[in-house]
C-alpha cells in the first residue's frame, strides 16, 4: 500500500470489505493523520513503521494494534534527547 494517499488507501480497503476512512485527529500537539479502521485509529506514523509493513500489506490491523505498548498514544513517540557529556 502506498501511504502517500490515505484517501486512496481507505478506498482500496473498503473494496476489500474493511470499514476504513481517512481521518485527521486534533491533539494537544497538533493534527495527526491516519486511518479509522472500524472503531480504531491508526496514525500514519504507526502505519509507516518498518515492523508494520507486512501486516499493513495484508490489511492485518489486529497485528499492528497488538504491537502497541501500554503507553501507546495516537501522537508520535517523543524521543528524549540527552546532552552529550
Residue 81 has pLDDT above 60, yes or no: no
Q: In the chain, which ranges are continuous DSSP H helix?
A: 6-15, 44-47, 53-57, 61-66
Beta strands in 1-85 (DSSP E): 20-27, 30-37, 40-43
Look at 3-17, 23-37, 70-84 and tell me which has the smallest mean pLDDT. 70-84
pLDDT in tens, 24-34: 999 887 899 99
Q: What is the pTM of this model?
A: 0.86
pLDDT in tens, 44-70: 999 999 999 999 999 999 999 999 999
The terminus-to-terminus CA distance of the chain in angstroms comes to 43
Amino acid at each position: 500500500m502506498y501511504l502517500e494517499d490515505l484517501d486512496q488507501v481507505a478506498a482500496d480497503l473498503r473494496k476489500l470489505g474493511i470499514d476504513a476512512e481517512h481521518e485527521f485527529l486534533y491533539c494537544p500537539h497538533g493534527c495527526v493523520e491516519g486511518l479509522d479502521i472500524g472503531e480504531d485509529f491508526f496514525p500514519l506514523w504507526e502505519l509507516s513503521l518498518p515492523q508494520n509493513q507486512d501486516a499493513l500489506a495484508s490489511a492485518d490491523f489486529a497485528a499492528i494494534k497488538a504491537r502497541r505498548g501500554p503507553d501507546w498514544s495516537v501522537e508520535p513517540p517523543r524521543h528524549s534527547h540527552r546532552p552529550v557529556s
